[in-house]
């Protein structure tokens, strides 16, 4: 009986101790500290069984809990901008030589930098690099090291940086302090293949520079067709960031190349840079119909209403006029599209203008209804019906169907209504079926 009683007591104590262990692992730090206190109430030989290792297990748990407490307190201090307190908490975590020592060193350096203690911050980062070079915090530490040195106006050696992102960080800082020195390194990154993902970023950094050598690199890259993707990016950056010099450079490349694809990209860069004059010149004088049409489209994208209208009035080729009409639609010039839909003498162009009114929606419905009422040409009326369908104006179509006496036109309206998902269309179709 005594043995059974002892076994029962041991099991009971064992379950209680297991619960305390769970509490240590998952509960809040304060609860964990309470659990450790409770564990201390048990005799040493009953803490998770007998044996010399039981005390060390409890000590390890206490150590882990203390580490977690200190680390959490340090991160809370960081969140609240209590930099000195954060330094002290993370320093204690480091002294414990725990698994979180690498993270603690990083955040200690972060807090020291915030306090303006840059030499101490750099020392903490050097310790991180020395003690945990393979840690995931090591790269973050290198980036912070570069940031601190650049803020202190200290030179950063790009060649010492093995990581591509860190190289670019270093070059970016060098660009602010010594642009002429940074340019050759950026060009080296462009021509190299060890950092393929960062080549376009290097080009972006060059585009921000006013240094003559940087401009030469970008212009050279824009002319070089050996790497089409890098060339495309250089052309884009010339349009986005390089002002008058960039537009002039693009104009020179456009005039010197015979590549249709390259010229199309340059036309797009003219649009991005707001260079209406060069786009208008290409729209007027370009011999390649495809390029001429692209220049007209880009004028439409940038909303050059007056320039496009001038082109339309002077143009005689119907196919080119259709491209110009599309550009007028792109600018949202409802007044001029309505004018062409009503008065254009060329029948095909007029039908195209009517279709474009349908794409414009909104107030275009009033013009379409007026056209349907005033023009007896069956083709014009069918074009109006299709335009109303495109614009989703079922209400106006139902009104036209009720008044239309021409069987063929009425069938066309009903056919289009049957394809529409609207209450007005469904109600009218039911009305026909119930007759």
Given this model, what pLDDT does residue 59 score?
Answer: 58
Span 26-42, average pLDDT: 38
Quote the pTM value.
0.58
Candidates 360, 338, 341; CA nearest to 350 is 341
The pLDDT confidence band at residue 175, using thresholds 50, 70 and 90, is: low
Averaged pLDDT, 204-212: 82
What span, in angstroms and rounded, lies between the C-alpha atoms of 189 and 250?
23
Q: What is the pLDDT of residue 366?
A: 86
Q: Residue 8: its pLDDT value, please? A: 38
The residue with tokens 């993902």 is 197
In the chain, what is the straight-line distance between the N-terminal and C-terminal CA atoms, in Å?
Answer: 99
pLDDT of 10 > 70? The answer is no
Rounded to an integer, what distance in angstroms lies between the CA atom of residue 409 and that of residue 329?
Answer: 27
293-327 pLDDT per residue, tens: 999 999 999 999 999 999 999 998 899 999 999 99
**pLDDT digits over 113-125, tens only?**
889 898 888 888 8
Residue 17 CB partners (closer than 8 Å, separation 6+): 39, 42, 46, 47, 48
Residues in CB range of 32: below 8 A, 6 or more apart: 23, 24, 65, 68, 69
- Given a cut of 60, whether residue 41 has pLDDT beyond it is no
pLDDT at 65: 76
- Does the pLDDT at position 46 exceed 80? no
Tokens of 392: 């989703």
Q: With pLDDT > 70 as the criterion, what percentage of the chain qualifies?
A: 77
Q: Which residue has the higher pLDDT, 264 or 13?
A: 264
38 pLDDT exceeds 60? no
* pLDDT given for residue 18 in this prediction: 38
Helix 318-330 to helix 289-301 angle, to the nearest 10 degrees? 20
CA distances from 186 to 146, 182, 218, 241, 404 (A): 17, 6, 11, 17, 71
Residue 233's closest CA among 244, 222, 219? 222
pLDDT of residue 33: 36
397-425 residue pLDDT tens: 999 999 999 999 999 999 999 999 899 99
């Amino acid at each position: 009986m005594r043995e059974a009683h002892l076994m029962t007591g041991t099991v009971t104590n064992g379950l209680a101790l297991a619960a305390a262990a769970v509490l240590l692992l998952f509960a809040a730090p304060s609860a964990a500290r309470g659990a450790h206190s409770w564990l201390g109430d048990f005799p040493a030989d009953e803490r998770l069984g007998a044996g010399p290792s039981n005390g060390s297990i409890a000590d390890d748990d206490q150590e882990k809990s203390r580490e977690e407490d200190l680390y959490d307190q340090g991160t809370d201090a960081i969140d609240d901008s209590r930099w000195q307190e954060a330094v002290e908490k993370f320093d204690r975590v480091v002294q414990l030589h725990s698994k979180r020592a690498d993270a603690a060193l990083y955040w200690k350096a972060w807090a020291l930098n915030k306090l303006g203690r840059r030499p101490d911050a750099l020392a903490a980062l050097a310790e991180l690099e020395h003690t945990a070079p393979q840690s995931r915090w090591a790269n973050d530490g290198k980036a912070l090291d570069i940031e601190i040195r650049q803020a202190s106006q200290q030179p950063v050696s790009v060649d010492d940086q093995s990581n591509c992102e860190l190289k670019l960080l270093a070059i970016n800082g060098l660009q602010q302090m010594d642009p002429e020195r940074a340019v050759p390194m950026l060009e080296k990154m462009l021509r190299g293949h060890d950092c393929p993902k960062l080549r376009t970023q290097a080009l972006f950094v060059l585009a921000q520079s006013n240094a003559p050598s940087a401009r030469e690199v970008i212009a050279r890259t824009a002319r070089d067709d050996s790497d089409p993707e890098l060339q495309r990016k250089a052309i884009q950056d010339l349009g986005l960031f390089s002002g008058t010099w960039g537009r002039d450079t693009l104009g020179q490349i456009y005039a010197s190349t015979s590549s249709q694809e390259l010229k199309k990209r340059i036309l797009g860069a003219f649009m991005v840079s707001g260079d209406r004059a060069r786009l208008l010149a290409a729209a007027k004088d370009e011999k390649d119909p495809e390029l001429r049409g692209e220049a007209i489209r880009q004028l439409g994208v940038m909303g050059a209403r007056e320039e496009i209208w001038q082109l339309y009035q002077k143009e005689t080729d119907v196919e080119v006029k259709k491209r110009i009409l599309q550009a007028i639609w792109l600018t949202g010039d409802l007044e001029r599209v309505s004018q062409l839909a009503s008065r254009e003498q060329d029948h095909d162009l007029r039908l195209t203008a009517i279709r474009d009114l349908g794409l414009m929606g909104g107030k275009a419905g009033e013009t379409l209804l007026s056209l349907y009422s005033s023009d007896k040409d069956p083709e014009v009326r069918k074009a109006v019906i299709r335009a109303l369908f495109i614009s989703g104006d079922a209400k106006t179509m139902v009104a036209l169907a009720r008044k239309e006496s021409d069987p063929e036109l009425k069938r066309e309206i009903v056919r289009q209504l049957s394809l529409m998902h609207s209450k007005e269309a469904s109600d009218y179709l039911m009305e026909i079926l119930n007759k």
